[in-house]
Chain A
Amino acid sequence: MEQLKKMSASTRSTIITYGMVIVLFAVMQALSSAKVISSSTTGLLVPITAYVCLSISLNLVVGISGELSLGHAGFMSVGAFTGIVVASMLADTITLGWARLLVSMLIGGMFAGLAGFLVGVPVMRLHGDYLAIVTLAFGEIIKNLLNNLYVGFDAKGLHLSMKSAQALGMEGGKIIINGPQGAVGISKLSTFLFGFLLVLFTLTVVLNLINSRTGRAIMAVRDNRIAAESVGINTTKYRLIAFVVSAALAGMAGVLYGLNFSSIVPKKFDFNTSILILVFVVLGGMGNIRGGIIAAIVLTILPEKLRFIGDFRMLMYAIVLISVMLVTNNKTFQTKLGMLRERIRRRKDPDLDLVASRAGGDGNE
């Protein structure tokens, strides 16, 4: 009985999260096809799904594993540019748009995961703030590498250079990545539907991971490293798993993001983007996946909606951020909110309070 109640509690939260994502998708899809929302907002739909994925994946590192990563945009860009190259190479082989996107996404995710592994292996042996420092550096290094990377594709295959477009020695063909000018002439493969599917996929992977043996080990290391070691958990391994999975998911979101624009520059994935994703996670509550999703959606739409106040836009944005942080962490506010909630519940059915909660429990069993 006790167990069933508990299972339903954790499952209930999961179901609410899935339900929220599905409902949001359905509403937005209906609104955009009915042309109720402006075209600028419609253009934001795919980036929003990408940011939601990034928020969920970063939550795995920051909230669940308890490490600070400041280079999430770096993994995103590894995924994005790998995905763009793969999509361009397969342009003639796979004509089906969604299939090409899927393959690009898988390969982009793999490359980002590999990058995460290479960064994580040395860093996960250390403790404290080292991960933050190294990931910060990683983001900058990746940005500078991509600024100097030239990739071309012709009949002979793939050409790589770190010097210039001429050094590629192309015979016809097409330059995919052109150094600081970034990738141009990308075929826009990303759709809102596919973004939604990626959100569901990311959500499934992260939630399943959290509610499994591996996830428990990751959270044990977060809560108390010494105790986790003392019960035989290899702390380095589980921190690394969280980090690599997160990097791979960020890479996939990067592919979705990259293939949504006709051109994209490496500068897009800079430190500010990493911080933006971190803000989603912190604002939504560390470890709170659902909160992170809502924060990602609101904070992506908000700057656009605040355009009408012109120069005060970023000021308002900052004020909103600060007030949300202050208010949600305010003890007085929390107690007041709790009391209010209690009163509403009581007023709804004053006598059937206990019965209702019991029935709710039974309903889930």
Chain B
Amino acid sequence: MSSETKATYKAQSAAAKRRSIQKDEERQESRAAKQARKNQTRMVPVPSQSIVPERDVGKQPILECRNLGIDFGGLKAVDDFNMMIGRTEIAGLIGPNGAGKTTVFNLLTKVYQPTRGTILLDGVDTAGMDTAKVSKAGIARTFQNIRLFGSLTVEDNVRIGLHNQIKCGMWSGMLRLPRHWITEKEYHDKALELLDVFHMADNANDIAGSLPYGAQRRLEIVRALATNPKLLLLDEPAAGMNPSETAELMDTIKHIRDTFGIAILLIEHDMDLVMGICEGIAVLSFGKVIAKGTPYDIQNNPQVIEAYLGKQEDKGGE
């Protein structure tokens, strides 16, 4: 045994002795003194990784994920996912293919039930809710592979989006009570108003499945907006769009945020779009958040570059 190790050993045992004496003393302390000591506990700000736009500071964040995770068998598809989104933030979620971005969306909308962690939507825990209830609570989404009601008209798709906004019972509809006619009028007006935002009012009577690709993507966004969400999740909104369509989409997304005053979280591979409109960005790799920050931070983050492009081997050697 070297002298160095001996010294550490000694120091450790001394520390242990001290601790046991301390414990004895503690036991002797009265309850009142304990209480007093508790009150004196010094509170320090928890270092938080969360960032929100300056204008949203001081307001309840619209979405807060804490330690969110899901396992598929032994695979941790998403692990320890933390994110906070401000009330009117346009946030981005990026990462290499298979990083778990869409899984995060599926967790937020409860298509999958999370294995771990908490989702707070506007301060309300969504635990125990199903997809429909989450929608009512205020999360709307679009899908990576378009999921429209293909055999119905464009207007009907939006009307279905308005399902929980304008209510009319089964009997009113079946017996054509006055309530039915009133709500049908409301449905029609509201649907056209929403379609107009995307200049799609002229297509109101077309069958949704027959629309061109870009229009189908836009219709999905309209349908999602019809549910009157607080948070809109867009899963690759620019997929399959050409640069000019993408530029138009960027304006539209900003326009939605400004008109409806909602937060938007988007998954996108088109970096022009992400860097162009996202205020806060989280980077996901193998189910874990590896970086968070402004577009500038992300672009210069070595970990992000490594995740996307791989690491360059040190060629020099020793």
Contacts and interface: CB of A to CB of B under 8 A. Distances in A.
Contacts of A211: 173
Contacts of B111: 226, 229-230
Interface stretch (B25-33, B58-66, B140-148, B264-272): B140-148
B202 interface: yes
A230 B150 CA distance: 16
B265 to A, nearest CB: 15
Contact of A229 (B132, B150, B175): B132
Contacts of A228: 149, 160
Contacts of B133: 232
Interface string A204-242: 010011011111110110011011111111110000010
Contacts of A205: 174
Contacts of B255: none
A213 B188 CA distance: 12
A224 B152 CA distance: 11
A136 to B, nearest CB: 27
The number of chain B residues touching the other chain, given as a range, is: 35 or more
A192 to B, nearest CB: 26
Interface residues of A, number: 30
B88 interface: no
A95 to B, nearest CB: 30
A209 B173 contact: yes
A232 B227 contact: yes
Contacts of A232: 132-133, 135-136, 163-164, 227
Contacts of A3: 188, 192, 204-205
Contacts of A241: 170
B89 interface: no
B160 A233 contact: yes
A62 to B, nearest CB: 15
A214 B109 contact: no
A129 interface: no
A92 interface: no
Contact of A212 (B130, B136, B152, B168): B168
B233 to A, nearest CB: 9
Contacts of A209: 170, 173-174
B131 A230 contact: yes
B205 to A, nearest CB: 4
B87 interface: no
Nearest to A208: B174
Nearest to B170: A214
Contact of B150 (A213, A224, A234): A224
Nearest to B175: A208
A217 B205 contact: no
Contacts of B223: 227, 231
B160 A6 contact: no
B304 interface: no
A3 B184 CA distance: 12
Majority secondary structure of chain A interface residues (helix, strand, loop or mixed): helix
Interface string A1-18: 011011001000000000
A235 B111 CA distance: 13
B227 to A, nearest CB: 5
A212 B168 CA distance: 9
Contacts of A213: 159, 163, 166-168, 173, 183, 187
Contacts of B175: 208
B84 to A, nearest CB: 23
Given A229-B130, A234-B132, A220 B152 contact: yes
B226 A224 contact: no
B100 interface: no
Contact of A227 (B147, B155, B183, B188): B147
A105 B205 CA distance: 39
A6 B205 contact: yes
Interface string A80-108: 00000000000000000000000000000
A217 B166 CA distance: 13
Interface core residue of B135, B149, B176 (most chain A CB under 10 Å): B149
A230 B140 contact: yes
Interface in A196-210: 205, 208-209
A165 B180 CA distance: 51
B204 A227 contact: no
A227 B151 CA distance: 14
B147 A226 contact: yes
Contact of B160 (A2, A208, A220): A220
B155 A6 contact: yes
Nearest to B226: A231
A224 B180 CA distance: 25
28 contacts: A2-B205, A3-B205, A6-B155, A6-B204, A9-B205, A213-B166, A213-B183, A214-B169, A215-B173, A216-B163, A217-B160, A217-B163, A220-B152, A220-B160, A223-B152, A224-B149, A227-B147, A227-B148, A229-B130, A230-B111, A230-B135, A231-B160, A231-B164, A231-B223, A232-B227, A233-B132, A233-B160, A241-B170
Of all A-B residue pairs in the complex, the 10 with the closest CB atoms, nearest first, are A212-B173, A232-B135, A227-B147, A229-B131, A223-B149, A6-B205, A232-B164, A220-B160, A214-B170, A213-B168
Interface of B: 109, 111, 130-133, 135-136, 140-141, 143, 147-153, 155-156, 159-161, 163-164, 166-170, 172-176, 180, 183-184, 187-188, 192, 201-202, 204-205, 223-224, 226-227
